[in-house]
Structure 1
Amino acid sequence: MNIADFESFLETVILERGHKLLKKGAVKNLQHLEENRVLASVHGSQTYSVEIFLEGDGVIKQASCSCPYDWSETCKHQAAVFFALREGAAVENQDVESSEKNLMHLLKQESKEELISIILQFARSHEEVERQLLLRYASPEDEITTAKALIRDYIKGAKSSGFIHWRRMDEAMQGAYMVLDNAEKKSERGNYVQAVKLALEIMPPIVSMTQYADDSGGEITIVTRNTMKVIKNAVEMGLDELSPDEQKEIFKAVQKEAKNKRYNGWDEWRFNLLDAIIPLGKEPKLRATLEKELDKLLENTPQNEWSRRHTEQSIKELQLSLLEVSGAEDSTIDGFIEENLRHDKFREKAIERSLERNEYEKAEQLCIDGEKQDTSYAGLIYKWKDYRYQVYEQQGDFERQRRLAHELVTRYYEYKDYERLKNLFSPEEWQEVFEKLLFELESGHSRGLYLTIITEEKLEDRILKYATAKPSSIVELYPYLIDHHLSEVNNLFVDMIMYDAEKASERRLYKQVCKDIRKYKKSASALFSPDKRWRA
């Protein structure tokens, strides 16, 4: 992916949101820290950091964002920075810390009465600020009522004909973000009970939104995940400070929410809520209550085979966590894990515990049994083979490592296994193995891994051969070829355009030709740059 044509690789919804953020001036402090490293802040309901590593003529080698979005590889914040880089947009670059210090100095010169006047004036002209202040300074009795109203008012304001379009999901979530922020502050100040109660108020309206909102951007997932995090952190941070009555109060509030029918069909949220109060299971009576609740959930698992297996595993994991919290003996915990080896999470725990104890034969057998048990699940078979590799690695068994690494590379096509295999040979030994491996991968069904390897290893002849066989790939591969194969690169772009033009017989296909030409045009800055001395 290149800064010149990143739109071709991102979802339309991500592009639209990213461009909207740029136009709103959300991209701040864009800095070129090193020759190939870019850092920027993107402001919204919260501020996130975006880091980009570039290579060659604008090739995006790696990009990351501190936001929790995980529905796809690239989020709207990264897209906003891509646009800023490509368009050379003017962004605000300033020393934030210095700016805050200047403001603090100015405010300190004002009297208490004048500061109150400034705050009131600012609040009257900014409804969001007024609501935040009312929530922050509400009495404990009024705080919950204020939080409920705040969340629902923003949701209601974003509705149109009873529905919330994805474009307005950020707006709909503002009340929830404000309450979440207040709950975090309560927790930081040691008011753990109120923090949990505030966070719990977010869940009912947000869960209900799933019935009438387009959450293709994942905002509901982000808010619920952060809400669970606040509840869990409040319980863990307050474990040694909360009185028995306060622990019981939190336990009852969370359990009551988890038992609500609104979570029927949304078991993951129910289990996350129960997981948050597992640490409170140190108290025998609370533990007994939770054990009874988990047993009841286990009796009512879904009838569908996959759903039942998944639900049962989640409940068993909670039971295991509760067992560990109770201070049970290692032998008891081992026995519980052994009873539930049909679930992959438990087999994984058993293998890891065996590896920690250097029980290699047991760990290997657990892996082999897992491969036999989970023949219908390719992902699980790979996991058990991967663990088996770790067994051989800890044993220092190079021969079995080599055989298994080769099997993993040629069957599952993971780049990390290629690196494993490479590191098991000396440079002299590797060359022969490498050539045979490339032949296997090129002629098999692993063209993705094959392409990754030849680009990472910068094998220009193979890259050119690949691009010649598949001209459309030149859009991604030209940065690897322009230093020594300019003429071929230009011809491949022309071939791609001509091929699509020849088969174009309708409007949709004509659009593809136009798209090809745009790609060629965007890459032209590299193809025709003076340092390449290209002459058309």
Structure 2
Amino acid sequence: MAKESLPRLTQAQIRELATEQSFERGELYYRQGAIFNAMRQGLELRADCQGSTIYHVQAKLNQQGLESSRCTCPYDWGGLCKHQVALLLTYIHDPQQFQVIPPMSELLAAHSREDLVALIGRMIQRHPELLYLVELSAPHPANQPMEMSTYRRKAQQALRREDPEEIAEGLQGLMEAAKHLLERGDWLNAGALYHLLLEELTVSYDYEMFEIDYDGDVACITQDAIAGLNQCLSKAQDLDAQVRRDWLTALFEAELKDLELGGIDFAAGASEALLAWATDEDWEWLEPQIRDAIAKHDRWAKEQLVNLLAQRQQQSGRGQAASDLIHELGTPEQRAFLLVEEGKFEDAIAIAEESFSHLPGLVTQFADALLKANRSDLALQWISQQQTQNPRYGYKDWLSQFHRTHGHPELALTMDYEEFQAHPSFPRYLELRKFAQSLGAWDELHSKIIQQLEQSKQTSLLIDIAVEEGEGDRAWQLLRSDPRSQFTRAEVVAKAIEATHPQDAIALYNQLANRFIEQRNRGAYQSAASYLKRVKALHEATQTQEDWRSTIQQIRTKYARLPALQDELNRAGL
């Protein structure tokens, strides 16, 4: 038998796919032998990993290395989790641990029909939820209605689970079944299954589920069902009128649920599908439902529904009807912005003053709309009035940008400086410096800013400025003058004075390391080790290695009963 050619996977590749912390912990798991029940079937790896509990890990390889991987642990901080790292390191270094399983076709080829029937029967007896797969595989004429009650029970059963990942996993089999039907040209039953899923998800997905669906696992199933139903509608030239109405109704109900939840993209693609596939006859019953929903909603949700009707009118070549509809049913914002487009500026401003002058985001958007309509005079007048009436909303940034682009940079600089005085921050400082330098006004303004910050005791900001401008000594003096800033700026100052005051930098890094050690957790120990590595490097640079040996020995002795800390110090080469 020819030797099987397997993809080459390297430790460097795995390291690139994981965070440093996940890789190090996964490497430790591998060394401790946490991987067991390892098996390989073709290019797929599966195993159990002993962590805080037993997790099930899978990986699929390709000729470039790793194609995909999964783990049942709750890790969600980017890249591979430590259990996946342990699995892949085991594959690289101890491939003999993996029991090689022949392809499924080979495993089953030797069985008789009776044996296979008995085997499937035993599997269903142990896992009754697999029955729907057998039903799906039964011969059935394409595009002849199937009985969907089993699939509905399966969906409802999955949606009664409490964990969103388990819900999504339970529904994924139904999604795959629908995809299989669609691939074999049975768009009628594929659409029925997508429709069923969308109905059940729309009913079940409420605020409580939204709050636990952190990663959108369940919401993504809804989006996939909508995309599938969209595909089926594209094939459905001869679809029964009632079935068509049911499918479109499910899309609309999903859109309403999304609006109810605040627009979380639960029903992404639903409105587009309605616009793409609803016929004139469909809109005769659909439009009254949308109008009824418009009457029950306000603000953002109402705006989305009005837009849906307006898009339908525009799609049908009735632009004026779309405008009339917005004037009739639209929110004040929609009507005001449309009036600007129509050149009816006084009417637009009257609505804006009455309806959304208390909403700063809309205020500036409305001003931008006036600018786009070539009415810069009205835009400036509008924002200036709002700044006077509601100064706490801070429209000076908009006014500054306006004066920059309309030939009054000195006035813009004055406004930027006033805003910095009111709300000093490092990003504002950098932006102000850049603008003032372009006008040749920085030297004088710089002195005023530093004086103001010193008077108001903005030590942390002064330290950031000193470090950024290469004044490490001044940053060190400022840090010593204000003990409070040592909790937030010690690291940045230590880096700035490594070359000029290495012993002071060493003291700061030691202080930071001790502070993190006292937090008593693995992540804090890793941070402490990183600071101690800087201490070691500085001692080496200043030829004071004996002091370093004394320091690290004291730490190891003092915290001898903290094995996790000792482990991190070892990992850091300390």
Both structures adopt the same fold (TM-score exceeding 0.5): yes
Asked if the contact 1:364/1:388 (under 8 Å) is kept, the reply is yes
Asked if the contact 2:164/2:218 (under 8 Å) is kept, the reply is no
- 1:314 Cα deviation after fit: 2.3
Matched, 1:471 2:458: no
Between the aligned partners of 1:373 and 1:187, the Cα distance in structure 2 is: 60
Identify the residue that residue 168 of structure 2 maps to in structure 1.
173
Matched, 1:254 2:257: no
Identify the residue that residue 506 of structure 1 maps to in structure 2.
none
User: Map of 1:200-211 to 2, 5 A cutoff?
Assistant: 200-201=198-199, 203-204=201-202, 206-207=204-205
- 1:252 Cα deviation after fit: 1.6
Between the aligned partners of 2:176 and 2:474, the Cα distance in structure 1 is: 53
Identify the residue that residue 525 of structure 1 maps to in structure 2.
533
- 1:280 Cα deviation after fit: 5.3
Matched, 1:489 2:486: no
**Residue type of the alignment partner of 1:317:** Q
- 1:349 Cα deviation after fit: 5.6
Identify the residue that residue 275 of structure 2 maps to in structure 1.
279
- 1:524 Cα deviation after fit: 0.8
User: Map of 1:329-344 to 2, 5 A cutoff?
Assistant: 329=320, 337-339=334-336, 341=352, 342=355
Asked if the contact 1:28/1:43 (under 8 Å) is kept, the reply is yes
Between the aligned partners of 1:187 and 1:395, the Cα distance in structure 2 is: 58
Change in CA separation of 1:478 and 1:346 when aligned onto 2, cut-off 3 Å:
closer
Identify the residue that residue 300 of structure 2 maps to in structure 1.
313
- 1:528 Cα deviation after fit: 0.9
Unpaired stretches in structure 2, ≥5 consecutive residues: 1-18, 23-50, 93-99, 337-350, 549-574
**Residue type of the alignment partner of 2:528:** Y
Matched, 1:218 2:229: no
Between the aligned partners of 1:448 and 1:266, the Cα distance in structure 2 is: 41
- 1:361 Cα deviation after fit: 3.4
SS at match of 1:44: strand
Asked if the contact 1:28/1:93 (under 8 Å) is kept, the reply is no
Between the aligned partners of 2:213 and 2:454, the Cα distance in structure 1 is: 37
Change in CA separation of 1:490 and 1:356 when aligned onto 2, cut-off 3 Å:
same
- 1:454 Cα deviation after fit: 6.3
Asked if the contact 1:199/1:231 (under 8 Å) is kept, the reply is yes
Matched, 1:44 2:39: no
Asked if the contact 1:409/1:418 (under 8 Å) is kept, the reply is yes
- 1:402 Cα deviation after fit: 3.2
Between the aligned partners of 2:178 and 2:107, the Cα distance in structure 1 is: 30
Between the aligned partners of 1:128 and 1:452, the Cα distance in structure 2 is: 64
Aligned length: 438
Between the aligned partners of 2:523 and 2:184, the Cα distance in structure 1 is: 55
Unpaired stretches in structure 1, ≥5 consecutive residues: 6-18, 30-38, 47-74, 96-102, 159-163, 302-310, 502-509
**Residue type of the alignment partner of 2:488:** S
State the superposition RMSD in angstroms: 6.2
Identify the residue that residue 347 of structure 2 maps to in structure 1.
none
Between the aligned partners of 2:516 and 2:497, the Cα distance in structure 1 is: 23
Change in CA separation of 1:248 and 1:518 when aligned onto 2, cut-off 3 Å:
closer
Between the aligned partners of 1:127 and 1:41, the Cα distance in structure 2 is: 29
SS at match of 1:173: helix
Identify the residue that residue 64 of structure 1 maps to in structure 2.
none
TM-score when normalising by structure 1: 0.56
Between the aligned partners of 1:115 and 1:460, the Cα distance in structure 2 is: 78
The structure with the largest alpha-carbon Rg is 2
SS at match of 1:218: coil
- 1:89 Cα deviation after fit: 6.7
Between the aligned partners of 2:432 and 2:461, the Cα distance in structure 1 is: 14
Matched, 1:402 2:382: no
Asked if the contact 1:4/1:523 (under 8 Å) is kept, the reply is no
**Residue type of the alignment partner of 2:409:** F
User: Map of 1:173-192 to 2, 5 A cutoff?
Assistant: 173-179=168-174
Change in CA separation of 1:145 and 1:129 when aligned onto 2, cut-off 3 Å:
closer
TM-score when normalising by structure 2: 0.53
- 1:471 Cα deviation after fit: 2.5
Between the aligned partners of 1:288 and 1:177, the Cα distance in structure 2 is: 35
- 1:319 Cα deviation after fit: 1.0
Asked if the contact 1:474/1:492 (under 8 Å) is kept, the reply is no
Between the aligned partners of 1:334 and 1:391, the Cα distance in structure 2 is: 30
Change in CA separation of 1:80 and 1:297 when aligned onto 2, cut-off 3 Å:
same
Asked if the contact 1:136/1:182 (under 8 Å) is kept, the reply is yes
Change in CA separation of 1:363 and 1:41 when aligned onto 2, cut-off 3 Å:
farther
Please, which moves more after superposition, 134-143 or 420-429?
A: 134-143
User: Map of 1:392-471 to 2, 5 A cutoff?
Assistant: 392=403, 395=406, 397-411=408-422, 420-426=431-437, 429-430=441-442, 432-434=444-446, 436-437=448-449, 440=452, 460-461=472-473, 463-464=475-476, 467-468=479-480, 469=483, 470-471=485-486
Identify the residue that residue 46 of structure 2 maps to in structure 1.
none
Asked if the contact 2:479/2:486 (under 8 Å) is kept, the reply is yes
Between the aligned partners of 2:197 and 2:466, the Cα distance in structure 1 is: 50
Asked if the contact 2:178/2:191 (under 8 Å) is kept, the reply is no
- 1:326 Cα deviation after fit: 1.6
Deviation string for 1:99-137 (max 9, x for gaps)?
Answer: xxxx9xx979989968999x9999969979968966986
